[in-house]
Structure 1
Amino acid sequence: MKNTWRFGEREFTYIREVLDSGFGSSTSGNMNNRFEAAFAEKVGAQYAVTFNSGTSTLHAALDAVGVGYGDEVITAPLTVISNLDVILAQNAVPVFADIDPDTFNIDPEDVARKITPKTKAIMPISLYGLSCDLDPLMELGRRHGIAVINDAAEAFGALYKGRPIAEIADITSYSTENSKHITTGDGGIVVTNDEGYASWMRKFGSLGYAALKAKDGRIRNNKDIFQDPTYKRHDAYGHNYRMPEVAAAMGLAQTERMDWFLDIRRRISEMYLEVARDADYLVPQRTPEGCHNSYWTVAFRYERDDVSWQDFRHKYVEFGGDGVYAAWALLYHETLMSSGAWKKRCPPLYDGLDFPAEGTCPNAEAVQPKIMQFVNNYGGLEEAEPKVEALLKTIRHFA
């Protein structure tokens, strides 16, 4: 499937600006700053910082809230490996809280049960475009002095009880990888209303340059200072996680068209949901009242015993569907964890830790094998119609 429909003249115009300016990096150009400002305004946050991935955004967020050696970070096991990787990168301990079987998002009641004196952060995932249950999570954070980092990689445009999600959590992280609502090819952007967090994350993502500010990623504004041999460049620890200027140019153009991208996915998702309405074994991800699901994908729980998940998928493909995507294996089921390879990150801390394959998060263990995700990343309803028709044919075939 080609995604060339996602790019128009605006993307090319901004990319040409970068090339015509001399093709600098984010340390000297202004396209990252422009993308950040436009995105922050769009999602309802004061500060935004670009990164080279939605993984590095999470890494920076954990560091900004002070997660370090031996600290515990509570997250859901039903997510991409990035959430685990960044916890291990900080020499912290992952703690897995179960999910709600209907929304597929983290269960705040189980989060409350998992909090200990070592808990430093809660990192829920707003899965498939649906906001996690933020009010009880934020209440837990305030009560225990724990930061809440909302991994909203898939949740551009999501609303929670009528509010943009970026207004609520301490830090909200987005991915701009190719499959997301807006894209820079690879990349990520993190938002917050806390100037201290924004400044820290920017330095963490750009080698700890002293000149960096919460709203400015440039470091070469004054050559008389920067080129002086006595100048001390770095006052903080950091990685090189910067977003290239050409990627930021695409991000700016895509942000300006975000409403259109969101509307297309919503309308296509509604087509799938309508077709599946009479198939009671296809249980859609439940969107609570007052929330707006921005549908990174259309997700169902497949509740049928007489036709296997795989047979249903094969028939759907036979009828012309693009395929049915499965959910990731639960984090503690991944070979990285089950083999013990993860313990090599920090043997003194991890050697005595293990996560049982069964019983750690019963709801997630029951739901993960049943999830079906249908592609909604098309350029229009006409392109999506044959895929939706394939689902209808599949449902009728197995009636």
Structure 2
Amino acid sequence: MKSLIKRIGESEKKYVSEVLDTDFRSSKGSMMMTRVEQKFAELFGARYAISHVNGTATLHSAIAAAGVEAGDEVIVPPLTMSSTAFGVLQNNAVPIFADVDERTFNISPDAIRNCVTDRTRAIIPVSLYGLPCDAVEINKIAKEYHLAVIEDNAECFMGKIDGNIAGTLSDMASFSFQSSKHLTSGEGGMIITNNEEYANKVRRFSSLGYAGVGAMKGKITKKDIQNPDYERHCSMGWNYRMPEICSAVILGQLEHCEELVQRRIEVANMFRTEIEKYSWLIPQYIPDGFENSYWTLAVQLDTKKIGWNRFRDKFIENGGDGIYSAWQLTYLEPMFRDMALQGREVFFKEPFNIYNPKRYEKGICPIAEKLQPRMLQFKTNYWDFTDAEKQAEILKKTLKELD
């Protein structure tokens, strides 16, 4: 019998208490931030880790650090949370949507290649639902066209490709600590990179453009700021630093990261055992050498046999916790359809990329458009395994009734 695990343990509480004991004195202002960055970098085998207030700010910083300028194009997937494209828009650049692979649901390297133009500056693949993106192939394309690769791994902690942790094969990788993620402090985010130039740029962009911060230093010193001649800001920047309390919680989470990730994997595998008995349900495909960390278990439903709402309603009727749908495709959201981009539409240069018409509309990514209304997302964050076992039995019963 698998045990009950605590999502928030004693370490998190201890470190938060240490922060509170400082009375938030500015001299102690980066104590936990420095520790969590060092611990995160160590866990991922990265040279640098730069913490942020959330996992959207991370993308904004990373895209800027990659040198993306107004009107440049950045290739992104349409089947994911819209924050990926928001980071592009925040940099006054143009998101170009590349279609996904029908089996993995992740962005397709072939589709990426078809979207590259002389205006492309970066690629942001998403490791969707916990399955690492095909970073090896994507980086081959990037090297050929001299593009930066920024992995959006908000949903993928400790997923692997041939033993390499997701996020360690590309120029930069972004992680989120939002409440639903593998590790959480309610909000927060992290960028990792092995490139010192990128790390310095990310740090300054996320820390008000302070001259006195850098790849390994997150706070300017009291001695510096007490000098009346001190010039603080070497560039424009935002205040995206992670609060000390959030840093304390993540520091504690990192101490039982393996346990938190493994629980989701165990739950997903238990659900997959039942799902794989039915041809009208197709779980996310895991290529050889890839390890899925299962932020959620994603399944494609044959909606010609069973309607999406019918499946969801029957599952809930039997006592199921409910099922999430996939997000609306980003480019079909009203803000893109109506070009309500807070004035950033002026940066959309002519002629527009041939793979994306001037108006974002249906037909841009046919595979993603086919998948989106069929997707079922099953929860995997059951910290009491007996709850997961009950849900697996409910799922088993539901599948038999619908077959």
Q: Which range, TM-score by smaller chain?
A: over 0.9
Counterpart of 1:324?
Answer: 323
Counterpart CA distance in 1 for 2:284 and 2:351 is: 37
Gaps of 5+ in 1: none
Counterpart of 1:196?
Answer: 197
Note if contact 2:280-2:305 (Cα within 8 Å) is conserved in structure 1: no
Counterpart of 1:277?
Answer: 276
Deviations 1:60-101 (A, max 9, x none): 000000011110000110111111111111111111100001
Does residue 383 of the first structure (1) align with residue 382 of the second (2)? no
Counterpart CA distance in 1 for 2:365 and 2:378 is: 25
Counterpart CA distance in 2 for 1:268 and 1:226 is: 51
TM-aligned CA distance change 1:55 to 1:121, over 3 Å = same
Identity, % of aligned positions: 41
Note if contact 1:151-1:172 (Cα within 8 Å) is conserved in structure 2: yes
Counterpart CA distance in 2 for 1:192 and 1:26 is: 27
Does residue 366 of the first structure (1) align with residue 370 of the second (2)? yes
TM-aligned CA distance change 1:336 to 1:27, over 3 Å = farther
Does residue 294 of the first structure (1) align with residue 293 of the second (2)? yes
Q: CA deviation at 1:216?
A: 1.7
What code does the residue aligned with 1:376 have? T
Counterpart of 1:314?
Answer: 313
Note if contact 1:26-1:243 (Cα within 8 Å) is conserved in structure 2: no
Counterpart of 1:109?
Answer: 110
SS of corresponding position for 2:121? strand
Counterpart CA distance in 2 for 1:280 and 1:111 is: 30
Deviations 1:154-195 (A, max 9, x none): 000010122112320100100000100000111101100011
Note if contact 1:283-1:301 (Cα within 8 Å) is conserved in structure 2: yes
What is the aligned residue count? 395
Deviations 1:22-51 (A, max 9, x none): 224698331011001111111121110100
Counterpart CA distance in 2 for 1:67 and 1:388 is: 46
TM-aligned CA distance change 1:348 to 1:151, over 3 Å = closer
Counterpart of 2:98?
Answer: 97
What code does the residue aligned with 2:101 have? D
Counterpart of 2:355?
Answer: none
SS of corresponding position for 1:325? coil
TM-aligned CA distance change 1:121 to 1:129, over 3 Å = same
Q: CA deviation at 1:129?
A: 0.4
Deviations 1:324-357 (A, max 9, x none): 1001000111011112212732435369862452
SS of corresponding position for 1:110? helix
Q: CA deviation at 1:385?
A: 1.3
TM-aligned CA distance change 1:93 to 1:356, over 3 Å = closer
Counterpart CA distance in 2 for 1:349 and 1:167 is: 32
TM-aligned CA distance change 1:237 to 1:352, over 3 Å = same
Note if contact 2:29-2:244 (Cα within 8 Å) is conserved in structure 1: no
1:229-244 to 2 correspondence within 5 Å?
A: 229-244=228-243
Note if contact 2:173-2:193 (Cα within 8 Å) is conserved in structure 1: yes
Counterpart CA distance in 2 for 1:385 and 1:127 is: 25
Counterpart of 2:60?
Answer: 59
Q: CA deviation at 1:307?
A: 2.3
Does residue 126 of the first structure (1) align with residue 130 of the second (2)? no
TM-aligned CA distance change 1:233 to 1:53, over 3 Å = same
TM-aligned CA distance change 1:238 to 1:264, over 3 Å = same
Q: CA deviation at 1:213?
A: 1.8
TM-aligned CA distance change 1:224 to 1:342, over 3 Å = closer
Note if contact 1:26-1:218 (Cα within 8 Å) is conserved in structure 2: no
TM-aligned CA distance change 1:348 to 1:266, over 3 Å = closer
1:134-173 to 2 correspondence within 5 Å?
A: 134-173=135-174
SS of corresponding position for 2:95? strand
Counterpart of 2:396?
Answer: 392
Counterpart CA distance in 2 for 1:277 and 1:224 is: 63
Deviations 1:281-337 (A, max 9, x none): 110000000000000000100014132100100110111111110010001110111
285-294 vs 301-310, greater mean Cα deviation: 301-310
Note if contact 2:94-2:347 (Cα within 8 Å) is conserved in structure 1: no
RMSD: 1.7
Does residue 175 of the first structure (1) align with residue 176 of the second (2)? yes
Counterpart CA distance in 1 for 2:391 and 2:193 is: 38
Note if contact 1:198-1:214 (Cα within 8 Å) is conserved in structure 2: yes
254-263 vs 14-23, greater mean Cα deviation: 14-23
Note if contact 2:70-2:347 (Cα within 8 Å) is conserved in structure 1: no
| Structure-2-length-normalised TM-score | 0.95
Gaps of 5+ in 2: 353-357
SS of corresponding position for 1:224? helix
Counterpart CA distance in 1 for 2:101 and 2:334 is: 25
TM-aligned CA distance change 1:346 to 1:27, over 3 Å = farther
SS of corresponding position for 2:19? helix
What code does the residue aligned with 1:369 have? P
| Structure-1-length-normalised TM-score | 0.95
TM-aligned CA distance change 1:224 to 1:276, over 3 Å = closer
4-13 vs 91-100, greater mean Cα deviation: 4-13
